[in-house]
Structure 1
Amino acid sequence: MSSLTSTSTTTESTAPGTAGTGRLPRLPQPLKGVTWLVWRQHRAAFRTVLGASALAVACIVFQRSQLQIDGYTHMSTGLRLTPILLGVFLGAPLFAGDLENGTAKLVVTQSVSRTRWLTTKLALTALVVVVSTVALSVAFGWWWSLYKSEVTATEWISESTFNNTGPVPVALALLSVFGGVAIGVVLRRTLTAMVVTLGFTVVVQLVWSHFLLSLGNVVTSTTSKGVMAETAIQTLPTGAHPMDGANPYLTGDGKLLGWGTCADAQTEQARELCLQKADVVGWSVDYLPISQMNGMQWFGASILLALTAAVTVFLFFWGRKRLA
C-alpha cells in the first residue's frame, strides 16, 4: 500500500507542466472567462444562426451559378423574415431566460459585474448577427446584380431587393435583435417576451416599408409634346421607379393638373379640345432613379443603427440596476 501511494505521488509531482503541484495542465481555450461562458450558454442558438446563414449563402451561390431565377422570390421572402426570426428566437430569450430561471442572480453574485456580463452578451450576439447578415446581403446582392440592368430593375425599391442587399438587412436585424433583448429584460419572461417581440419586429418592418420611398430625392421629368395617344407619357430611364402622381398634366405656365382634368369628355375630340383650353402641353412624372439606391440604403441603415444605439443605451441604464 505504501509503495503504491509513493509511486502515485511521485507520478503526480513529476507530471510535465504541473510544476510539482499535482494538478493536470489546463488546455488552452480560444474563448476565456465571460466570453467563453456566454458562448457556451448560447452556442446552440449561435451555431444555428451561423449554420443556417452558411446554408442559405451556398444555396444562393448555386442558383446564381446556374443562372436560375425560380427560387429568387422564395429566397428573398425568407431573407425578409430573417430579422423577425432573429429578434424572436435570439434577442428575446437572451436575458429573459436568465432572469426567469434565476441564472442572472447566480451570475451577479460572482466576480462578474452586471455591466461586463451585459456587454459581453450583447457584443457576442451582435457579432453573430453581423457576420450572418453581411454574408447573406453580399450573396443576395451578387445574385440580384444579374438583373440590375434589365427592365425588372425597377423592382430595386421593392422590399424583396432593397431590404435584402447593402447595409439594410444588417441594420434591420440588429434593431430587431436588440429590441427583442430590451423587451426580454423588461418583461423577464421568455415566452411573453418572444410573443411581444414578434409584434415589435413586424411593426418595425411595416413602419420601415411605409417610409421607404421618403429616403430618396424625387426627380421630376417633364415633356411639352402633348398628351394625346400619339404622344404618350415619356419613357423613363432604366431602373427608374415612377412615383404615384395625382397631377400628371403640365400646363404652359408650369402648373400641374390632375388625372380628372377633362375626364368627363364624351369623345376623344372633345377631350383634346378641353385639354387645349386648359393649356395642357405635356406630362410631368416624378420618379426615383436607381442611382440613388446605395445612398438611400446607407441613409436608412444609419437611422436604424441610431435606433439600435438608443436601445443599447437603455439596456445599460436599465440593466445595471435591474438585471438580476
Structure 2
Amino acid sequence: MSTFTRTSTGTTSDGKNGTMNATREATTREATRRPRLSGMTWLVWRQHRAAFWTILAAAALSVAWMVYQRGQLVDFLDGYGYPGKDLSDADGAFQQYDDAFSSVAFGLQAIPVLLGVFLGAPLLAGDLENGTAKLVAAQSMSRTRWLATKLALTGLVVLVSTVALSAVFGWWWSPVKSEVTVLDWTSTDAFNNTGPVPFALTLLSVFGGVAIGAVLRRTLMAMVVTFGFSVLVQLVWGHFLMSLGNVITVTSNKGVVAEDAFPSLPKGAYQLDESYLTGGGDLLGWGTCNEATDQARELCMKKADVVGWSVDYLPMSQMNGMQWFGASILFALTAGVVAFLFLWGRKRLV
C-alpha cells in the first residue's frame, strides 16, 4: 500500500515536472524566436528583396569605407598640426583627402537619381505591366493596403540607407568643415549630402518614380521619364538653394581703398553680393567708377559720395536651418505625390 502510494506520488510529481519543463521550453522558444514578416509585408519584401538588400548592403559598405577614411583624415590632421597650421601650406599632402571628398560627394549626389530610376519607377510599373497588380486586387487584401505597404517598406529602406550615409559623411567632413577649400558648405557636394537633405531628395525622386510608373504602366518608359524627373529636381533644387537662407548685410564707412575698408565676414561665410555705399545710404554697383587711373577713380568716388562697402552674405551657422527648411519643402512635395498615388490607386491601380 505504501509502495503504491509512493509510486503514485512520484509519477504525479514527474508529470508535473514534465509539464512545467515543456511549458518553460515553449516559453523560451517563443521568447528567442526572431520576428518574422507575414502577410502583405512579407509579400512585398519578398518581391523586392533583391533591390532592398542591394541598397542596404551598398550603403553599409560605403559607410564602412567612409569610417576608415575619417580615421585616416584625423591621423593626418593630428600629425600635420591642424588647426594650428593652415591646410593651404600642406604642399599637396592633403590633396588625396580632398579628392576623396569630391569623389564620394559626387557618388552620393547620384543616389536620388539611381534609386528613383531603378527602385521607384519599376515598383508599380512592373506589377501593372506583367499583371501582378490584377492578381493582388483579386485577393482579400485591399489595393490601398498593398500600395501603402509598398511605399512604407520602400521609404524605410531609403530612410535607413540615406540617413546612415548622410550622418557618416557629415562626421567624416566635420574636422575640416570650416575649410571652404575642401568643401564649400554652399556647394551641392556638401549641402546635398549632409543633414536631412539626402533623405528628402531621394524620397521625392523615388516616390516620384513610383507615381510616373503608375501612370505610364510600362517599366522601361517609366525609368526613362523618372531619370529626367530626378535630374530636373536636382537642377531646380540647386538653383534655389541659396534662397533658403536669411541674407545678412554688413556695411563699412572707411572708404573703399583703405586696407581695412572692406567689412570683415565670419569664417566660412558665403558672399552673395557687394556694392558701394553712399553717404545717403544708396547702393552703387561695384563696377561704378571703374576708371583707368587711381586719381580719376578717386575723383569719381568723391563725386558719387561713396563712403564704404555694403556686403550681403550667408553665414555658415545657417546651414542646418537652411537644410531643414529646404527638406520640409521636399517632404511637402513628396506628401503631394503620395496623396496622388492613393487617389489614383483607388480607381486606376489595376
Q: TM-score, normalised by structure 2?
A: 0.82
> Which residue in the other structure is 1:65 paired with?
71
SS at match of 2:313: strand
SS at match of 1:283: strand
Q: CA deviation at 1:232?
A: 5.0
Letter in 1 for 2:293: T
Q: 1:61/1:154 Cα in 2 relative to 1: closer, same or farther (>3 Å)? A: closer
The match for 2:324 among 292, 298, 312 is 298
Distance, in Å, in 2 between the alignment partners of 1:174 and 1:70 is 28
**Contact 1:154–1:290, Cα closer than 8 Å, also in 2:** no
The match for 1:250 among 261, 274, 277 is 277
**Contact 1:94–1:181, Cα closer than 8 Å, also in 2:** yes
Distance, in Å, in 1 between the alignment partners of 2:209 and 2:120 is 5
Letter in 2 for 1:268: D
Distance, in Å, in 1 between the alignment partners of 2:257 and 2:240 is 34
Q: CA deviation at 1:267?
A: 1.1
Distance, in Å, in 2 between the alignment partners of 1:189 and 1:29 is 36
- Does residue 279 of the first structure (1) align with residue 305 of the second (2)? yes
SS at match of 2:342: helix
Structure 1 residue runs of 4+, over 6 Å off?
none
> Identity over the aligned pairs, expressed in percent?
71
The match for 2:195 among 136, 147, 166 is 166
- What does the per-residue CA deviation read over 1:46-83, in whole Å, with 9 as the maximum and x for residues that have no partner? 00110111111111111111004431100000001111
Listed as ranges, the gaps of 5+ residues in structure 1 are 1-15, 17-26
Distance, in Å, in 2 between the alignment partners of 1:150 and 1:42 is 42
**Contact 1:174–1:308, Cα closer than 8 Å, also in 2:** yes
The match for 1:241 among 250, 270, 293 is 270
> Which residue in the other structure is 1:24 paired with?
none
**Contact 2:98–2:182, Cα closer than 8 Å, also in 1:** no
Listed as ranges, the gaps of 5+ residues in structure 2 are 1-21, 23-32, 74-96
Letter in 1 for 2:38: K
**Contact 1:241–1:287, Cα closer than 8 Å, also in 2:** yes
> Which residue in the other structure is 2:15 paired with?
none
Letter in 2 for 1:38: V
1:43-82 to structure 2, matched below 5 A, reads 43-67=49-73, 68-82=97-111
Q: CA deviation at 1:233?
A: 2.5
Letter in 1 for 2:132: T
1:1-324 to structure 2, matched below 5 A, reads 30-67=36-73, 68-152=97-181, 155-228=184-257, 230-231=259-260, 233-245=262-274, 248-263=275-290, 265-324=291-350
Which has the higher Rg, Structure 1 or Structure 2?
A: 2
SS at match of 2:246: coil
Distance, in Å, in 1 between the alignment partners of 2:198 and 2:144 is 28
The count of corresponding residues between Structure 1 and Structure 2 is 296
Q: CA deviation at 1:144?
A: 1.3
Letter in 2 for 1:251: T
SS at match of 1:66: helix
Q: CA deviation at 1:126?
A: 0.3
**Contact 2:261–2:308, Cα closer than 8 Å, also in 1:** no
Letter in 2 for 1:256: L
Letter in 2 for 1:53: A
> Which residue in the other structure is 2:84 paired with?
none
Query: What do you get for the CA RMSD once the two structures are aligned?
Result: 1.6
**Contact 1:152–1:239, Cα closer than 8 Å, also in 2:** no
Q: CA deviation at 1:226?
A: 0.9
Distance, in Å, in 2 between the alignment partners of 1:46 and 1:234 is 52
